[in-house]
Amino acid sequence: MSGESVTIPDDRAFASFKAECLCEEGWTVTYSKSGITVWIQTQEEQQKPNHKIKCRMVCKDVSAETMYDVLHDIEYRRKWDTNVIETFDIGKLTANADIGYYSWKCPKPLRNRDVITLRSWLPIGKDYLIMNYSVKHAKYPPKKDMVRAVSIQTGYMIQSQGPNHCTLTYLAQVDPRGSLPKWVVNKSSQFLAPKAMKKINKACVKYSEWKQRHNPGFKPWLYPEQTTLPSIPLSELTIQHADSLENIDESSLAEAHERDSD
């Protein structure tokens, strides 16, 4: 992913991502409770200005197929993902790759972030992989009221453990474009990440009922012929390098105390 030209991940890239999802060496556990484990690699350990976090959740009431659908279904995400500000698909590249926009709320008083990513997905046997990395598109430049973050490599691995039982691993290597205060890193790994995983699990349990009422047969991630997205040539995209974006210093900001609305 380090070259200048944008490429669609191949089988080797998916295999590498899966191996990193499974690897625990070099990671520090920050949370382990109720079937959810969170690991981080700190900046000091990495010698890099980005944050790496990995979460794993055992779901004993959700099939791998349902989890895969929920993580793909952008209409449903707008309903259950309370962190989302705006999300939409921009266009398709291949039957299993597209370009999309996602913006999200950051803990106050930090500025909110957004990303443009190339996302690709691959079912392998009974397991599923979804991963993305940041790209640039001329029609979607950084916004004045947002900080454009960089996904170096982010994604999900879903492993089937039985008919109604799966394990979800989320791996994110992100440059948030800014010096973050330590409380943000701690809050993300010890509170926000576990909370997000629980929210995904809850969304999966309710998905079947919701989908029956919202275009039940429409699943372009399974049936690519259903997509209505315009095709985008790779030549319109370039790699989003972090050093070409605004870098802000929020390291001295104190945490805003607010009541949790959830």
Question: Higher confidence at residue 111 or residue 47?
Answer: 111
pLDDT of residue 1 exceeding 60, the answer is no
DSSP state of 125: T
pLDDT of amino acid 106: 83
Q: Please check the confidence at residue 94 and state whether its pLDDT lies above 90.
A: yes
Q: Is 157 helix (H, G, I), strand (E, B) or coil?
A: strand
Q: Provide the angle, in degrees to the nearest 10, between the axes of the packed helices 64-72 and 193-212.
A: 90
- 49-73 pLDDT per residue, tens: 557 899 999 999 999 999 999 999 9
Phi, psi of 206 (to 5 degrees): -95, -5
pLDDT at position 185: 59
- Nearest 10 degrees: Cα torsion 260, 262, 157, 56: 60
Task: Return d(Cα 172, Cα 212) in angstroms, integer.
Answer: 32
Residues 6 or more apart from 116 whose CB is under 8 A from it? 90, 99, 100, 101, 134, 135, 136, 137, 140, 148, 240
pLDDT of residue 107: 76
